[in-house]
């Protein structure tokens, strides 16, 4: 997204940036996996429902917020320019960068987090 807003135009064909953005949007499914791993199995459905509620709620509420920011950045101009979009969506770019950094701080909760168990037959043989 940063390249779409701030990169030099004409370097990539337009469909390539759209394709990359579409593939990257698949990362929106990661919270479902994380929340199911962080909760006991019997609460997996409830946890996924809460994440689903949060995703759709924030999507619905933040659309008008960004529209307002874009209108404010343009000063009410009838036509938006690239600078208006850059100004309005800059907090979103910072939010994506922060999300990437926070992802690196996640603790492993799956099988890799638990030490490997040595079967009893292997222990007896040694």
Interval 89-124: pLDDT, tens: 898 889 889 988 988 888 777 666 667 666 666 556
Q: Which domain holds residue 118?
A: 2-125
Interval 27-43: pLDDT, tens: 888 888 888 888 888 99
Q: What is the pLDDT of residue 118?
A: 65
Quick one: how far is CA 41 from the chain centroid? 24
Q: What is the pLDDT of residue 7?
A: 82
Let me know: does 73 contact 87? Beta carbons within 8 Å: yes
Prediction pTM value: 0.66
Q: Which residue has the tokens 């037959």?
A: 121
What are the structure tokens assigned to 26, written together?
């698949």
Number of domains in the chain: 1
Angle (deg, nearest 10), helices 30-38 and 44-74: 140
């Amino acid at each position: 997204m940063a390249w779409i807003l701030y990169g030099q135009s004409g370097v990539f064909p337009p469909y390539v940036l759209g394709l990359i953005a579409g593939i990257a949007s698949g990362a929106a499914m990661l919270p479902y996996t994380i929340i199911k791993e962080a909760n006991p199995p019997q609460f997996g459905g409830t946890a996924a429902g809460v994440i689903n509620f949060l995703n759709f709620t924030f999507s619905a509420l933040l659309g008008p917020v960004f529209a307002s920011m874009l209108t404010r950045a343009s000063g009410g101009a009838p036509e938006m320019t690239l600078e208006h979009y850059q100004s309005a969506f800059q907090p979103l770019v910072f939010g994506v960068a922060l999300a990437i950094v926070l992802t690196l701080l996640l603790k492993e909760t799956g099988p890799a987090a638990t030490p490997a168990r040595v079967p009893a037959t292997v222990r007896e043989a040694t």
